[in-house]
Amino acid sequence: MQTATHFDREHCVRAVQSKDARFDGWFYTAVLTTRIYCRPSCPVVPPKPGNMTFYPSAAACQQAGFRACKRCRPDTSPGSPEWNQRADLVARAMRLITDGVVDREGVPGLAARLGYSTRQVERQLLAELGAGPLALARAQRAQTARLLIETTPLPMAEIAFAAGFSSIRAFNDTVREVFALSPSELRRRVPAGRAAGETTPGTLSLRLPFRAPLNPDNLFGHLAATAVPGVEEWRDGAYRRTLRLPYGHGIAALAPRPDHIACRLTLSDLRDLAVAISRCRRMLDLDADPVAVDDRLRTDPLLAPLVDKAPGRRVPRTVDEAEFAVRAVLGQQVSTAAARTHAGRLVTAHGTPVDDPEGGLTHLFPSPQALAALDPDTLAMPRTRRATFTTLVGQLADGTLHLGVESDWAEARARLLALPGFGPWTVDVIAMRAFGDPDAFLPTDLGIRRAAAELGLPSTPAALIARAEAWRPWRAYAVQYLWATDSHPINFLPV
Protein backbone atom coordinates (compact mmCIF):
# COMPACT_ATOMS: atom_id res chain seq x y z
CA MET A 1 0.00 0.00 0.00
CA GLN A 2 1.40 3.40 -0.93
CA THR A 3 2.13 6.29 1.39
CA ALA A 4 -1.14 8.08 0.63
CA THR A 5 -3.34 5.00 0.35
CA HIS A 6 -5.96 6.51 2.66
CA PHE A 7 -6.75 8.90 -0.22
CA ASP A 8 -7.23 5.99 -2.67
CA ARG A 9 -10.89 5.29 -2.11
CA GLU A 10 -11.03 2.13 -4.23
CA HIS A 11 -8.24 0.40 -2.28
CA CYS A 12 -9.78 1.41 1.03
CA VAL A 13 -13.24 0.10 0.11
CA ARG A 14 -11.77 -3.24 -0.98
CA ALA A 15 -9.78 -3.55 2.26
CA VAL A 16 -12.93 -2.89 4.34
CA GLN A 17 -15.09 -5.29 2.34
CA SER A 18 -12.49 -8.06 2.73
CA LYS A 19 -11.93 -7.21 6.44
CA ASP A 20 -8.19 -7.14 5.77
CA ALA A 21 -6.38 -6.77 9.10
CA ARG A 22 -3.12 -5.91 7.34
CA PHE A 23 -4.40 -2.36 6.87
CA ASP A 24 -5.45 -1.74 10.49
CA GLY A 25 -3.71 1.46 11.53
CA TRP A 26 -3.02 2.53 7.94
CA PHE A 27 -6.40 4.27 7.71
CA TYR A 28 -9.78 4.41 9.46
CA THR A 29 -13.29 3.97 8.08
CA ALA A 30 -15.88 6.50 9.23
CA VAL A 31 -19.53 5.55 8.65
CA LEU A 32 -21.65 8.56 7.75
CA THR A 33 -24.96 7.03 8.86
CA THR A 34 -23.89 5.86 12.33
CA ARG A 35 -21.16 8.46 13.01
CA ILE A 36 -18.84 5.60 14.08
CA TYR A 37 -15.27 4.99 12.93
CA CYS A 38 -13.74 1.52 12.63
CA ARG A 39 -10.56 -0.29 11.69
CA PRO A 40 -10.66 -1.95 8.21
CA SER A 41 -11.00 -5.42 9.76
CA CYS A 42 -14.10 -4.57 11.83
CA PRO A 43 -16.16 -7.79 12.21
CA VAL A 44 -19.55 -6.14 11.60
CA VAL A 45 -21.23 -6.20 8.19
CA PRO A 46 -19.41 -3.60 6.05
CA PRO A 47 -21.43 -0.45 5.33
CA LYS A 48 -22.41 0.50 1.82
CA PRO A 49 -19.51 2.15 -0.02
CA GLY A 50 -21.52 5.33 -0.35
CA ASN A 51 -21.72 5.57 3.45
CA MET A 52 -17.96 5.21 3.96
CA THR A 53 -15.42 7.96 4.23
CA PHE A 54 -11.78 7.47 5.14
CA TYR A 55 -9.36 9.25 7.45
CA PRO A 56 -5.63 8.82 7.95
CA SER A 57 -5.76 8.96 11.76
CA ALA A 58 -8.05 8.26 14.69
CA ALA A 59 -7.57 11.87 15.75
CA ALA A 60 -8.98 13.08 12.40
CA CYS A 61 -12.04 10.86 12.86
CA GLN A 62 -12.61 12.21 16.35
CA GLN A 63 -12.15 15.78 15.20
CA ALA A 64 -14.77 15.20 12.49
CA GLY A 65 -17.29 14.08 15.11
CA PHE A 66 -17.08 10.27 14.83
CA ARG A 67 -16.81 7.98 17.85
CA ALA A 68 -14.83 4.78 18.16
CA CYS A 69 -16.55 1.48 17.33
CA LYS A 70 -17.23 -0.63 20.42
CA ARG A 71 -16.73 -3.87 18.50
CA CYS A 72 -13.40 -3.45 16.71
CA ARG A 73 -11.88 -0.83 19.05
CA PRO A 74 -9.92 1.03 16.36
CA ASP A 75 -7.95 2.96 18.99
CA THR A 76 -6.13 -0.28 19.91
CA SER A 77 -4.99 -1.25 16.40
CA PRO A 78 -1.27 -1.31 15.53
CA GLY A 79 0.14 2.08 14.61
CA SER A 80 0.83 3.12 11.05
CA PRO A 81 4.12 1.64 9.82
CA GLU A 82 4.84 4.88 7.98
CA TRP A 83 6.17 6.67 11.05
CA ASN A 84 8.98 4.12 11.40
CA GLN A 85 9.77 4.09 7.67
CA ARG A 86 10.26 7.79 7.11
CA ALA A 87 12.47 10.57 8.45
CA ASP A 88 10.57 13.60 7.14
CA LEU A 89 8.96 16.23 9.37
CA VAL A 90 5.58 14.51 9.73
CA ALA A 91 7.10 11.12 10.62
CA ARG A 92 9.48 12.66 13.15
CA ALA A 93 6.62 14.68 14.66
CA MET A 94 4.46 11.57 15.00
CA ARG A 95 7.25 9.69 16.76
CA LEU A 96 7.63 12.56 19.21
CA ILE A 97 3.88 12.84 19.82
CA THR A 98 3.72 9.10 20.50
CA ASP A 99 6.61 9.58 22.92
CA GLY A 100 4.50 12.09 24.88
CA VAL A 101 6.37 15.30 23.99
CA VAL A 102 3.22 17.38 23.41
CA ASP A 103 1.83 16.43 26.84
CA ARG A 104 5.12 17.30 28.55
CA GLU A 105 6.36 20.28 26.53
CA GLY A 106 3.39 21.48 24.49
CA VAL A 107 3.33 22.21 20.76
CA PRO A 108 6.14 24.81 21.09
CA GLY A 109 8.34 22.11 22.63
CA LEU A 110 7.49 19.73 19.78
CA ALA A 111 8.34 22.37 17.18
CA ALA A 112 11.59 23.29 18.92
CA ARG A 113 12.77 19.69 18.90
CA LEU A 114 12.03 19.46 15.18
CA GLY A 115 13.65 22.78 14.34
CA TYR A 116 10.52 24.23 12.73
CA SER A 117 7.95 26.83 13.69
CA THR A 118 4.74 25.69 15.37
CA ARG A 119 2.83 26.96 12.34
CA GLN A 120 4.85 24.79 9.94
CA VAL A 121 4.42 21.69 12.11
CA GLU A 122 0.68 22.19 12.47
CA ARG A 123 0.23 22.87 8.76
CA GLN A 124 2.04 19.71 7.65
CA LEU A 125 0.30 17.47 10.18
CA LEU A 126 -3.10 18.82 9.17
CA ALA A 127 -2.32 18.33 5.48
CA GLU A 128 -1.27 14.69 5.85
CA LEU A 129 -3.16 13.42 8.91
CA GLY A 130 -6.21 15.64 9.07
CA ALA A 131 -5.41 16.67 12.64
CA GLY A 132 -2.96 18.93 14.40
CA PRO A 133 -0.55 17.98 17.21
CA LEU A 134 -2.99 18.79 20.01
CA ALA A 135 -5.71 16.58 18.51
CA LEU A 136 -3.23 13.75 17.91
CA ALA A 137 -1.98 13.97 21.49
CA ARG A 138 -5.57 14.06 22.75
CA ALA A 139 -6.37 10.86 20.86
CA GLN A 140 -3.38 9.19 22.50
CA ARG A 141 -4.51 10.36 25.95
CA ALA A 142 -7.94 8.87 25.29
CA GLN A 143 -6.40 5.54 24.31
CA THR A 144 -4.21 5.51 27.43
CA ALA A 145 -7.21 6.36 29.61
CA ARG A 146 -9.23 3.51 28.14
CA LEU A 147 -6.37 1.11 28.75
CA LEU A 148 -6.14 2.12 32.42
CA ILE A 149 -9.90 2.05 32.90
CA GLU A 150 -10.19 -1.48 31.50
CA THR A 151 -7.06 -3.09 32.94
CA THR A 152 -6.61 -1.55 36.39
CA PRO A 153 -8.73 -0.87 39.48
CA LEU A 154 -7.29 2.65 39.78
CA PRO A 155 -9.70 5.42 40.81
CA MET A 156 -10.80 7.58 37.89
CA ALA A 157 -9.05 10.66 39.29
CA GLU A 158 -5.70 8.81 39.24
CA ILE A 159 -6.38 7.54 35.73
CA ALA A 160 -7.06 11.06 34.48
CA PHE A 161 -3.75 12.24 35.91
CA ALA A 162 -1.81 9.21 34.64
CA ALA A 163 -3.24 9.52 31.11
CA GLY A 164 -2.06 13.12 30.87
CA PHE A 165 -5.34 15.04 31.27
CA SER A 166 -5.15 18.43 32.98
CA SER A 167 -8.48 17.99 34.81
CA ILE A 168 -11.13 15.41 35.70
CA ARG A 169 -13.61 17.33 33.57
CA ALA A 170 -11.40 17.16 30.48
CA PHE A 171 -10.92 13.43 31.11
CA ASN A 172 -14.67 12.75 31.44
CA ASP A 173 -15.59 14.88 28.42
CA THR A 174 -12.95 13.31 26.17
CA VAL A 175 -13.84 9.73 27.10
CA ARG A 176 -17.54 10.38 26.48
CA GLU A 177 -16.87 12.09 23.18
CA VAL A 178 -14.44 9.47 21.82
CA PHE A 179 -16.11 6.29 23.09
CA ALA A 180 -19.76 7.39 23.59
CA LEU A 181 -19.53 5.98 27.12
CA SER A 182 -18.61 7.51 30.46
CA PRO A 183 -15.46 6.23 32.20
CA SER A 184 -17.62 4.28 34.65
CA GLU A 185 -19.63 2.72 31.82
CA LEU A 186 -16.41 1.67 30.08
CA ARG A 187 -15.26 -0.09 33.23
CA ARG A 188 -18.58 -1.84 33.70
CA ARG A 189 -18.23 -3.40 30.24
CA VAL A 190 -15.04 -5.20 31.32
CA PRO A 191 -15.53 -8.91 32.17
CA ALA A 192 -15.79 -9.50 35.90
CA GLY A 193 -12.44 -9.70 37.65
CA ARG A 194 -10.34 -8.47 34.74
CA ALA A 195 -9.82 -4.91 35.94
CA ALA A 196 -9.43 -6.04 39.54
CA GLY A 197 -6.61 -8.44 38.70
CA GLU A 198 -3.79 -5.95 39.19
CA THR A 199 -2.74 -5.93 42.83
CA THR A 200 0.83 -4.62 42.68
CA PRO A 201 0.89 -0.80 42.68
CA GLY A 202 2.25 0.60 39.43
CA THR A 203 2.13 -2.75 37.60
CA LEU A 204 0.00 -3.23 34.48
CA SER A 205 -0.51 -6.21 32.18
CA LEU A 206 -1.23 -5.37 28.53
CA ARG A 207 -1.57 -6.99 25.11
CA LEU A 208 0.48 -5.31 22.38
CA PRO A 209 -1.02 -5.97 18.92
CA PHE A 210 0.99 -6.47 15.75
CA ARG A 211 0.47 -7.19 12.07
CA ALA A 212 0.89 -10.87 11.32
CA PRO A 213 3.06 -12.72 10.64
CA LEU A 214 5.63 -12.15 13.37
CA ASN A 215 8.61 -14.45 13.77
CA PRO A 216 9.86 -14.04 17.35
CA ASP A 217 13.06 -16.08 16.96
CA ASN A 218 15.55 -13.44 15.86
CA LEU A 219 13.66 -10.63 17.59
CA PHE A 220 13.75 -12.00 21.12
CA GLY A 221 16.83 -14.11 20.39
CA HIS A 222 18.87 -11.02 19.55
CA LEU A 223 17.66 -9.05 22.57
CA ALA A 224 18.34 -11.96 24.93
CA ALA A 225 21.73 -12.93 23.47
CA THR A 226 23.04 -9.37 23.70
CA ALA A 227 21.40 -8.54 27.04
CA VAL A 228 23.48 -6.36 29.36
CA PRO A 229 23.63 -7.89 32.88
CA GLY A 230 21.62 -5.87 35.36
CA VAL A 231 19.73 -3.98 32.65
CA GLU A 232 18.26 -6.87 30.62
CA GLU A 233 17.50 -10.54 31.15
CA TRP A 234 15.52 -13.47 29.78
CA ARG A 235 13.38 -14.95 32.56
CA ASP A 236 10.35 -17.28 32.56
CA GLY A 237 9.79 -16.96 28.81
CA ALA A 238 9.99 -13.17 28.72
CA TYR A 239 12.57 -10.56 27.83
CA ARG A 240 12.82 -8.10 30.71
CA ARG A 241 14.62 -4.78 30.89
CA THR A 242 14.75 -1.52 32.82
CA LEU A 243 13.49 1.71 31.26
CA ARG A 244 14.59 5.30 31.84
CA LEU A 245 11.40 7.35 31.44
CA PRO A 246 10.50 11.07 31.57
CA TYR A 247 8.92 10.97 35.05
CA GLY A 248 10.76 8.04 36.60
CA HIS A 249 11.83 4.54 35.71
CA GLY A 250 10.16 1.27 34.81
CA ILE A 251 10.62 -2.41 34.12
CA ALA A 252 9.11 -4.08 31.05
CA ALA A 253 8.56 -7.82 30.65
CA LEU A 254 7.70 -8.83 27.07
CA ALA A 255 6.73 -12.32 25.95
CA PRO A 256 5.68 -13.49 22.45
CA ARG A 257 2.22 -14.98 21.97
CA PRO A 258 0.61 -16.21 18.73
CA ASP A 259 -1.54 -13.10 18.22
CA HIS A 260 0.02 -10.46 20.50
CA ILE A 261 2.95 -9.59 22.73
CA ALA A 262 2.21 -10.03 26.43
CA CYS A 263 3.53 -6.91 28.17
CA ARG A 264 3.89 -6.37 31.89
CA LEU A 265 4.99 -2.89 32.93
CA THR A 266 6.05 -1.82 36.40
CA LEU A 267 6.28 1.97 36.56
CA SER A 268 7.41 4.32 39.30
CA ASP A 269 5.06 6.98 37.84
CA LEU A 270 1.95 6.02 35.85
CA ARG A 271 2.27 9.18 33.74
CA ASP A 272 4.96 7.26 31.86
CA LEU A 273 2.56 4.55 30.66
CA ALA A 274 2.02 5.81 27.09
CA VAL A 275 5.75 6.47 26.64
CA ALA A 276 6.69 3.03 27.98
CA ILE A 277 4.24 1.33 25.60
CA SER A 278 5.52 3.37 22.67
CA ARG A 279 9.14 2.48 23.40
CA CYS A 280 8.39 -1.22 23.82
CA ARG A 281 6.48 -1.29 20.54
CA ARG A 282 9.33 0.50 18.80
CA MET A 283 11.95 -1.86 20.26
CA LEU A 284 10.02 -4.89 18.99
CA ASP A 285 9.19 -3.25 15.63
CA LEU A 286 5.52 -4.07 16.16
CA ASP A 287 4.19 -1.45 13.74
CA ALA A 288 6.02 -2.97 10.78
CA ASP A 289 4.18 -4.14 7.66
CA PRO A 290 5.65 -7.66 7.26
CA VAL A 291 3.62 -8.50 4.17
CA ALA A 292 5.04 -5.54 2.24
CA VAL A 293 8.56 -6.31 3.48
CA ASP A 294 8.47 -10.01 2.66
CA ASP A 295 6.82 -9.49 -0.72
CA ARG A 296 9.65 -7.22 -1.80
CA LEU A 297 12.42 -9.51 -0.51
CA ARG A 298 10.82 -12.55 -2.19
CA THR A 299 11.49 -10.97 -5.57
CA ASP A 300 15.13 -12.00 -5.13
CA PRO A 301 15.28 -15.75 -5.88
CA LEU A 302 18.14 -16.24 -3.42
CA LEU A 303 16.27 -14.55 -0.56
CA ALA A 304 12.86 -16.05 -1.30
CA PRO A 305 13.56 -19.45 0.37
CA LEU A 306 14.71 -17.69 3.54
CA VAL A 307 11.56 -15.58 3.66
CA ASP A 308 9.27 -18.54 2.92
CA LYS A 309 10.93 -20.62 5.63
CA ALA A 310 10.34 -18.08 8.43
CA PRO A 311 8.31 -15.04 7.31
CA GLY A 312 7.66 -12.01 9.46
CA ARG A 313 11.11 -11.28 10.83
CA ARG A 314 11.37 -7.95 12.62
CA VAL A 315 14.35 -5.69 13.27
CA PRO A 316 15.26 -5.73 16.99
CA ARG A 317 15.58 -2.09 18.00
CA THR A 318 16.08 -0.20 21.25
CA VAL A 319 14.26 1.79 23.93
CA ASP A 320 17.10 4.31 24.21
CA GLU A 321 18.99 5.58 21.17
CA ALA A 322 21.92 7.03 23.15
CA GLU A 323 22.32 3.78 25.07
CA PHE A 324 22.47 1.79 21.86
CA ALA A 325 25.08 4.10 20.32
CA VAL A 326 27.30 3.55 23.37
CA ARG A 327 26.79 -0.21 23.14
CA ALA A 328 27.61 -0.16 19.42
CA VAL A 329 31.00 1.37 20.24
CA LEU A 330 31.58 -1.21 22.98
CA GLY A 331 30.81 -3.93 20.43
CA GLN A 332 33.30 -2.78 17.81
CA GLN A 333 35.59 -5.65 16.77
CA VAL A 334 34.78 -7.81 19.80
CA SER A 335 32.50 -10.79 20.41
CA THR A 336 28.94 -10.51 21.69
CA ALA A 337 30.06 -11.89 25.06
CA ALA A 338 32.89 -9.35 25.35
CA ALA A 339 30.54 -6.47 24.49
CA ARG A 340 28.13 -7.63 27.20
CA THR A 341 30.98 -7.79 29.71
CA HIS A 342 32.17 -4.24 28.90
CA ALA A 343 28.62 -2.88 29.14
CA GLY A 344 27.94 -4.77 32.38
CA ARG A 345 30.97 -3.18 34.03
CA LEU A 346 29.79 0.29 33.07
CA VAL A 347 26.32 -0.49 34.43
CA THR A 348 27.66 -1.69 37.78
CA ALA A 349 29.96 1.31 38.17
CA HIS A 350 27.83 4.13 36.75
CA GLY A 351 24.23 2.94 36.35
CA THR A 352 21.31 4.11 38.49
CA PRO A 353 20.24 1.36 40.94
CA VAL A 354 16.64 0.12 40.76
CA ASP A 355 14.67 -2.42 42.76
CA ASP A 356 13.34 -5.51 40.97
CA PRO A 357 11.50 -7.88 43.33
CA GLU A 358 10.53 -10.17 40.42
CA GLY A 359 13.95 -10.83 38.92
CA GLY A 360 17.59 -9.94 38.51
CA LEU A 361 17.48 -6.41 37.10
CA THR A 362 19.55 -4.02 39.16
CA HIS A 363 20.24 -0.80 37.24
CA LEU A 364 19.22 1.65 34.56
CA PHE A 365 21.85 1.91 31.85
CA PRO A 366 24.14 4.87 32.65
CA SER A 367 23.11 8.22 31.19
CA PRO A 368 25.46 10.04 28.78
CA GLN A 369 26.10 12.59 31.54
CA ALA A 370 27.25 9.87 33.94
CA LEU A 371 29.47 8.26 31.30
CA ALA A 372 30.97 11.61 30.27
CA ALA A 373 32.15 12.12 33.86
CA LEU A 374 34.06 8.84 34.16
CA ASP A 375 37.84 8.52 34.03
CA PRO A 376 38.77 7.17 30.56
CA ASP A 377 41.76 5.34 32.04
CA THR A 378 39.34 3.01 33.84
CA LEU A 379 38.01 1.69 30.52
CA ALA A 380 39.39 -1.74 29.60
CA MET A 381 39.71 -1.06 25.89
CA PRO A 382 42.35 0.14 23.40
CA ARG A 383 43.29 3.82 23.52
CA THR A 384 41.74 4.58 20.12
CA ARG A 385 38.41 3.08 21.16
CA ARG A 386 38.55 5.02 24.42
CA ALA A 387 38.80 8.19 22.35
CA THR A 388 35.80 7.07 20.28
CA PHE A 389 33.82 6.32 23.45
CA THR A 390 34.64 9.56 25.26
CA THR A 391 33.96 11.72 22.20
CA LEU A 392 30.57 10.06 21.67
CA VAL A 393 29.37 10.33 25.28
CA GLY A 394 30.70 13.88 25.53
CA GLN A 395 28.66 15.02 22.53
CA LEU A 396 25.58 13.13 23.70
CA ALA A 397 25.90 14.68 27.17
CA ASP A 398 26.29 18.29 26.03
CA GLY A 399 23.60 18.05 23.34
CA THR A 400 25.92 18.48 20.37
CA LEU A 401 24.72 15.11 19.06
CA HIS A 402 21.01 14.17 19.10
CA LEU A 403 19.94 10.58 18.47
CA GLY A 404 16.33 10.66 19.69
CA VAL A 405 13.18 9.79 17.77
CA GLU A 406 13.17 13.34 16.39
CA SER A 407 16.51 12.85 14.63
CA ASP A 408 16.93 13.68 10.98
CA TRP A 409 18.52 10.42 9.85
CA ALA A 410 20.77 11.91 7.18
CA GLU A 411 22.06 14.62 9.50
CA ALA A 412 22.62 12.20 12.38
CA ARG A 413 24.52 9.81 10.09
CA ALA A 414 26.80 12.61 8.94
CA ARG A 415 27.51 13.70 12.51
CA LEU A 416 28.31 10.13 13.55
CA LEU A 417 30.63 9.58 10.60
CA ALA A 418 32.53 12.72 11.62
CA LEU A 419 33.37 11.21 15.03
CA PRO A 420 36.74 9.47 15.46
CA GLY A 421 36.46 5.69 15.18
CA PHE A 422 33.04 5.72 13.49
CA GLY A 423 33.01 3.86 10.20
CA PRO A 424 30.11 2.75 7.97
CA TRP A 425 29.42 -0.46 9.97
CA THR A 426 28.98 1.38 13.29
CA VAL A 427 26.88 4.13 11.75
CA ASP A 428 24.64 1.70 9.86
CA VAL A 429 24.04 -0.57 12.84
CA ILE A 430 23.01 2.51 14.85
CA ALA A 431 20.80 3.63 11.95
CA MET A 432 19.18 0.20 11.80
CA ARG A 433 18.59 -0.44 15.49
CA ALA A 434 18.50 3.03 17.09
CA PHE A 435 17.04 5.28 14.38
CA GLY A 436 14.84 2.47 13.05
CA ASP A 437 15.84 3.12 9.43
CA PRO A 438 14.30 0.15 7.57
CA ASP A 439 16.78 0.51 4.71
CA ALA A 440 20.01 0.50 6.72
CA PHE A 441 22.43 -2.10 5.37
CA LEU A 442 25.65 -3.77 6.61
CA PRO A 443 27.56 -5.05 3.55
CA THR A 444 30.86 -5.34 5.44
CA ASP A 445 29.41 -7.24 8.41
CA LEU A 446 31.08 -10.62 8.88
CA GLY A 447 27.78 -12.45 9.31
CA ILE A 448 26.38 -10.87 6.15
CA ARG A 449 29.46 -11.78 4.14
CA ARG A 450 29.29 -15.38 5.35
CA ALA A 451 25.60 -15.60 4.44
CA ALA A 452 26.28 -14.07 1.03
CA ALA A 453 28.97 -16.65 0.31
CA GLU A 454 26.69 -19.50 1.42
CA LEU A 455 23.75 -18.32 -0.70
CA GLY A 456 25.73 -17.39 -3.79
CA LEU A 457 25.21 -13.64 -3.41
CA PRO A 458 28.01 -11.27 -4.49
CA SER A 459 30.99 -11.50 -2.15
CA THR A 460 32.43 -7.97 -2.32
CA PRO A 461 30.67 -5.11 -0.46
CA ALA A 462 30.31 -3.01 -3.62
CA ALA A 463 28.73 -5.86 -5.59
CA LEU A 464 26.47 -6.79 -2.66
CA ILE A 465 25.29 -3.19 -2.36
CA ALA A 466 24.44 -3.22 -6.07
CA ARG A 467 22.48 -6.48 -5.70
CA ALA A 468 20.68 -5.09 -2.63
CA GLU A 469 19.26 -2.15 -4.61
CA ALA A 470 16.35 -4.45 -5.46
CA TRP A 471 15.64 -4.96 -1.74
CA ARG A 472 15.02 -1.26 -1.03
CA PRO A 473 13.48 0.15 1.10
CA TRP A 474 13.71 -2.95 3.32
CA ARG A 475 17.41 -3.79 3.42
CA ALA A 476 17.47 -3.81 7.25
CA TYR A 477 15.00 -6.71 7.12
CA ALA A 478 17.15 -8.47 4.54
CA VAL A 479 19.95 -8.26 7.11
CA GLN A 480 17.79 -10.20 9.57
CA TYR A 481 17.10 -12.96 7.01
CA LEU A 482 20.78 -13.16 6.07
CA TRP A 483 21.91 -13.28 9.70
CA ALA A 484 19.41 -16.10 10.28
CA THR A 485 21.46 -18.45 8.10
CA ASP A 486 24.01 -18.68 10.95
CA SER A 487 23.77 -20.76 14.13
CA HIS A 488 24.53 -17.77 16.41
CA PRO A 489 22.27 -17.53 19.51
CA ILE A 490 20.83 -14.22 18.27
CA ASN A 491 18.76 -16.23 15.79
CA PHE A 492 16.96 -18.49 18.27
CA LEU A 493 14.22 -17.91 20.78
CA PRO A 494 15.67 -18.65 24.23
CA VAL A 495 14.37 -21.71 26.07
Among 12, 38, 61, 280, the active-site one is 38
3-state secondary structure the chain: CCCCHHHCHHHHHHHHHCCCHHHECCEEEEECCCCEEECCCCCCCCCCHHHEEEECCHHHHHHCCCEECCCCCHHHCCCCHHHHCCCCHHHHHHHHHHCCHHHHHHHHHHHHHHCCCHHHHHHHHHHHHCCCHHHHHHHHHHHHHHHHHHHCCCCHHHHHHHHCCCCHHHHHHHHHHHHCCCHHHHHHCCCCCCHHHCCCCCEEEEEECCCCCCEHHHHHHHHHHCCCCCCEEEECCEEEEEEECCCCEEEEEEEECCCCEEEEEEECCHHHHHHHHHHHHHHCCCCCCHHHHHHHHCCCCCCHHHHHHCCCECCCCCCCHHHHHHHHHHCCCCCHHHHHHHHHHHHHHHCEECCCCCCCCCEECCCHHHHHCCCHHHCCCCHHHHHHHHHHHHHHHHCCCCCCCCCCHHHHHHHHHCCCCCCHHHHHHHHHHHHCCCCCCCCCCHHHHHHHHHHCCCCCHHHHHHHHHHHCCCHHHHHHHHHCCCCCHHHCCCC
**Does the annotation count 445 as an active-site position?**
yes
**Does the annotation count 72 as an active-site position?**
no
Among 24, 272, 428, 445, the active-site one is 445
Known catalytic residues are: 38, 445
